[in-house]
Structure 1
Amino acid sequence: MAGPAAAHEDPPTISQAFAGPRPGEAIGIDLLNYQPKPGVHLVAESPVFAHPIRMDDPAAKVDGLGVKAPIPMSAEPGSYPLVIKARGKVVARDTIRVRPPERPSVEVDDGRARRPGTRVNLFFDDLYPGENGDSFTARSPAFASPVRLTRGKDSWNNTRVFSALNVPLPFTLHDGTYAIWVTDGDGRRKARTRLEVRSARPGDDDYLGNAEGPAFFGKTGSPLRAQDKGFTAAAGTTMYVKWQDASPDPGEEERLTATSPAFQAPARLASDVIKGHEMDPPLFWGPARIKPGLKPGRYPVTVVSHRGRVTKNSYLTVTQGSAHDDGGLPTAVWAGASAGTLALGATAAVLLVRRRRRAPLS
């Protein structure tokens, strides 16, 4: 067994992950600054545990947090001593503080106001004596339909958490406070909360944003080299439209398009999420097919954003059509000119295939 710590060394210390548990939850226990000799087993003991816990039990290990120590549902709130022993000798002490039980509750993300058209995450916690249901549904006038809640598979410290992620709020939702309630499989209401919905207003960053574009690039270009002036494309070919906005309207990544009398159909501008992770303003781009046989000339391309509050135009020049255009993706996407362009490779491919099916080459 390891000897006592020297005067200049840190003493053995117990760490608790998810400290302050409620009855029925679990904490993670680890012992720091102590290395037992081979064959010496460490055991955690506390009056609140149903039984002593082996610190080297592989079935109880939780990654980086020591071992799982369940707190019985029958535990009374209060403070309980915790010791870790090696061959019956105490090597470290701590205290487990058990909080009172809490009635079932539902939360929406961090509780802040949300914009119409965004998505929210719901979390329902029914860790409470006597609660044992496994089918729950969230309802609200703010939702287009009832939302099924599913049990979290990765939550080892609280197995009574049910959630629904990325629940859409309708784009047309009016400002206001909306009730959200959770019912069980028999329709009984188990918990209730409120969601505040608030559209952007003058002075908010996302009211008008800070947009650049639309800009254009061809098959040999990339979003990073797009140009908003002097761009030329042949009738019947595919080009690409780029839009960038430091403060896009929430939910805009699912509905942003570029339109033009030169396009066969509106160009869906998909969000390049990887490029956004590089700390640049959020970037959107997508393919647009020029109408075959279109009369040469100068045509406007329009992007309307921020719920119609922002409209920007750029112009492209259309020349006589080429004999053949195989569509495809910009060369930079295949070459990996940037992480951002790679992010949209699959999306752009799907969009191109759809457009080519709707509009055969001339």
Structure 2
Amino acid sequence: MTVVAVLPWVDPAPAAAADAVPVARTAVAGPSPSSGPRLVFRGDGQQPVEQGDEFRITVLDMPAGWDEVSVASPALVEPVRLVPRAEGATDSDPDRYQAGATVRMDVDPGTYSLVATSHGRVVTSAELKVSPYGPARIGRFGVWQEETVLGDPVRPGSRVNVLLGDAHPLPGEDVLVAKSPAFTRDVKIRRDGPEDPACKCDDGSILFTGHTTLRDDLPVGTYPLTVASHDGRETHTTRITVAGEPVTPSRSWALWGVPAVLAVLCGAGIALRLRLRLRLRLRRKNTGPA
């Protein structure tokens, strides 16, 4: 007798997971949570600022109703006061005069905290990287006369103007000393000196100017002109070209000395003549008839 087992019907196995068709899902973007107030300044804080440098600070994403923020740091000369760009704005106005910060010249290079407070409460902070004050950027440097341009040859014994233009001068350094073996003496050149208006141009540099006299015994040739700046840490050198006949005082003496001598002699002659007349009158009076 044959026994046949009757098995229940079973559905075929589902396809392997590797063969399954992926279901596309779309995420619905909702409002991202605010990161809160933050300070923005040069290079988002990644670019260092130099000792003595000036830069602007802005605060962003402040809560509604704020009215002022003070930003302070040991690296700054004084705190910076920030106010809303407009009524109801969450950002400050970077163009206001108070938004400008100045780094102290005497602060050591390094990283410092910028702390923003509002009515005594800290609202945000950031890091400020301070680098050493950068080198000078010398543009124009040399001597010139009224009838020449900078760098032209000058005659021995002539009076010359000295100019140094620095696009990155050291703050507070207002007087430099120019030295040359061609000079009769060292000369002080001053920021915004009296010769400054004659040298103005639009290169943006700060001008140091002064004037001196060249030695009248200089042979034709070139002579070094040296100026030390940035508290003596940098030395700048150019050349003075000397050519032509010396400018000697004899010419000035010929023009002004002779008339002066004649005037002195004339005055002395008149005085002697008057003195003789007075003596003659006194003698006649004393020897008159008895």
Matching of residue 168 in structure 1 with residue 92 in structure 2: no
Matching of residue 121 in structure 1 with residue 52 in structure 2: no
Q: Is the CA contact (8 Å cut-off) linking 2:65 and 2:88 kept in structure 1?
A: no
Q: Is the CA contact (8 Å cut-off) linking 1:108 and 1:195 kept in structure 2?
A: no
Cα deviation, residue 229, structure 1: 6.4
In the TM superposition, 1:209-358 aligns within 5 A as 211=138, 214-221=141-148, 225-227=149-151, 230=154, 239-243=161-165, 252=170, 255=173, 257-260=175-178, 262=185, 265-268=188-191, 274-275=202-203, 283-290=205-212, 302-305=226-229, 308-313=232-237
Compare the two structures and name the one with the higher strand fraction: 1
Give the distance between the partners of 2:211 and 2:128, measured in 1 at CA.
42
Matching of residue 107 in structure 1 with residue 43 in structure 2: no
Matching of residue 190 in structure 1 with residue 123 in structure 2: yes
- In structure 1, the residue matched to 2:284 is none
In the TM superposition, 1:197-216 aligns within 5 A as 197-199=130-132, 211=138, 214-216=141-143
Q: Deviations over 1:5-41 (max 9, x none)?
A: xxxxxxxxxxxxxxxxxxxxxxxxxxxxxxxxxxxxx
Measured at CA, do residues 228 and 300 of structure 1 come closer, stay the same or move farther in structure 2, by a change above 3 Å?
A: farther
- In structure 1, the residue matched to 2:114 is 180
Q: Deviations over 1:82-130 (max 9, x none)?
A: xxxxxxxxxxxxxxxx6543311112211211221221211112433xx
Q: Deviations over 1:286-312 (max 9, x none)?
A: 432449xx9978898543345643212
- Give the aligned length: 201
Q: Is the CA contact (8 Å cut-off) linking 2:112 and 2:127 kept in structure 1?
A: yes
Measured at CA, do residues 319 and 284 of structure 1 come closer, stay the same or move farther in structure 2, by a change above 3 Å?
A: farther
Q: Deviations over 1:149-195 (max 9, x none)?
A: 24436xx99553243554221222211101011122x2222211110
Give the distance between the partners of 1:144 and 1:297, measured in 2 at CA.
52
Give the distance between the partners of 1:102 and 1:133, measured in 2 at CA.
17
Scaled by the length of structure 2, what TM-score is found?
0.51
Cα deviation, residue 141, structure 1: 0.4
Q: Deviations over 1:248-279 (max 9, x none)?
A: 65x64774753247577542168978326xxx
Name structure 2 gaps, 5 residues minimum.
1-27, 180-184, 253-290
SS of 1:267's equivalent in the other structure is: strand
Measured at CA, do residues 232 and 211 of structure 1 come closer, stay the same or move farther in structure 2, by a change above 3 Å?
A: farther
Measured at CA, do residues 100 and 227 of structure 1 come closer, stay the same or move farther in structure 2, by a change above 3 Å?
A: same
Q: Is the CA contact (8 Å cut-off) linking 2:173 and 2:230 kept in structure 1?
A: no
Measured at CA, do residues 266 and 102 of structure 1 come closer, stay the same or move farther in structure 2, by a change above 3 Å?
A: same
Give the distance between the partners of 2:203 and 2:188, measured in 1 at CA.
26
